Structure 1
Amino acid sequence: MTTQPATSGSTAAAAAGPASCDGFHPDLPDRPVAGADPAARFRVHHVRADDLDGDTAQTGGMRRFAAISGARVGSERMWMGQTHVAPATASADHHHGASETAIYVVSGHPEFVFLADGDGDGDGGGGGGSEQEVRLRTGPGDYIFVPPFVPHREENPDPDDEAVVVIARSTQEAVVVNLPGLHVLRPEQPHAH
């Protein structure tokens, strides 16, 4: 078996190390994230469970805690944290702007509620039917995906235990737009694309 020697390019990149960034992390920008330590982009961050930040965008009936954000660790394209919904509580109606949201259920049985066209397909595709409430009942280990701008709310029907979920968003900060009520998001709406 013959081993190929390293190419001069990979040797140079390894010798250059993280200080020069030449070939080390070519996808990282040269500019620092506003408000973050410029060196934050060149190390791994550990956010302890007892060090989550409650000073983030909120919605009535739930409590959000930031773990990963631009301000906390220098992230540029994601936000991650936890949401807690107290027993027998429903959040206010809201959406997350242009941000995609992925949710992992840690504990409890939260329900995610949104409106869809009542045309039978449930895809909100503008079928012109009456609006119907869709309720997704979840349990620990389940995942939920909320597309951009889709109005929804979280509910915790359990009378005794809070529901806890981990949230990841495709923006560096928690985008939350609180609403007076739910409505169907239709493809013809400008912000639906």
Structure 2
Amino acid sequence: MTDHWHAPLRHIKGAELTGDTMQTSGMTRLEAVSGKTVGSDKLWMGRTHVAPATSSGDHHHGEAETAIYIVSGRPVFVFADGDEEVRLETEPGDYIFVPPYAPHREENPGAEEAVVVIARSSQEGVVVNLPSLWAPVERP
């Protein structure tokens, strides 16, 4: 039986985040709170960096819901709605919700690094990297 009234709080310093988690091309994902780092049962939290003029690979986060808070930069979140590409252009202070299994990618068209804080409804950093969802269109 767990004594929830006397469980210790955990302090993870920004300099202690680890890159020892699932990665996607074009971005750096850093893990702070997870089952592995603090013993969480239902939550994963971390930070992602996307360099200027860079796009991540296409991916999804399995059954986990994902909440994203934009710290700096102006990342663009791209997903498909049927045959149509949808682009959500963000700025610092904005939030994005990514439903379970929703394929997407992050793009950073700006000159400043994009930094976001991520929270997931899983104790693991679930990432499923995908082949390109938007193959180039051949033009005559």
- TM-score, shorter chain, exceeding 0.5: yes
Pairing 1:65–2:16 present:
no
Percent sequence identity is: 62
Does 2:84 align with 1:132? yes
Q: Which amino acid aligns with 2:65?
A: E
The structure that has the greater radius of gyration is 1
1:1-193 aligned at under 5 Å gives the runs: 21=3, 25=5, 42-117=7-82, 131-158=83-110, 160-182=111-133
Q: What is the Cα deviation at residue 182 of structure 1?
A: 2.4
5+ residue gaps in structure 2? 135-140
**Runs of at least 5 residues in structure 1 that lack an aligned partner in the other structure:** 1-18, 26-40, 118-130, 184-193
Pick 1 or 2: higher relative contact order, CA cutoff 8 A, min separation 6: 2
Give the Cα separation in 1 of the matches to 2:10 and 2:99. Answer: 28
Aligned to 1:38: none
Structure 1 stretches of 4+ with a deviation exceeding 3 A read none
Secondary structure at 2:36 match in 1: helix
Give the paired residue count: 134
**CA displacement 1:114-140 (0-9 Å, x = unmatched):** 0002xxxxxxxxxxxxx0000000000
Deviation of 1:181 after TM superposition, in Å, equals: 2.2
SS in 1 for 2:15: helix
Query: What amino acid maps onto 2:95 in structure 1?
Result: Y
Equivalent position SS for 1:99: coil
Query: How many angstroms apart in 2 are the aligned matches of 1:84 and 1:73?
Result: 22
Length-normalised TM-score, structure 1? 0.67
1:131-184 alpha-carbon deviations (Å, 9 max, x no partner): 0000000000000000000000000001x211000000000010000011227x
Secondary structure at the aligned position of 2:70 is classed as strand
Q: CA separation of 1:115/1:56 partners in 2, compared to 1, >3 Å: closer, same or farther?
A: same
What whole-Å deviation, never above 9, does each CA across 1:8-66 have from its counterpart, x for those lacking one? xxxxxxxxxxx973xx54xxxxxxxxxxxxxxx81000100111011110000000000
Question: 1-side partners of 2:100 and 2:121: how far apart?
Answer: 10
TM-score, normalised by the number of residues in structure 2: 0.91
Bigger fraction of residues in helix:
1
Note the aligned Cα RMSD (angstroms).
1.6
Partners in 2 of 1:136 and 1:20 — Cα distance?
43
Q: Closer, same or farther in 2 for the Cα pair 1:180/1:73, shift >3 Å?
A: same
What SS does the aligned partner of 1:145 have?
strand
The code of the aligned residue for 1:155 comes to E
State the secondary structure of the residue aligned to 2:41: coil
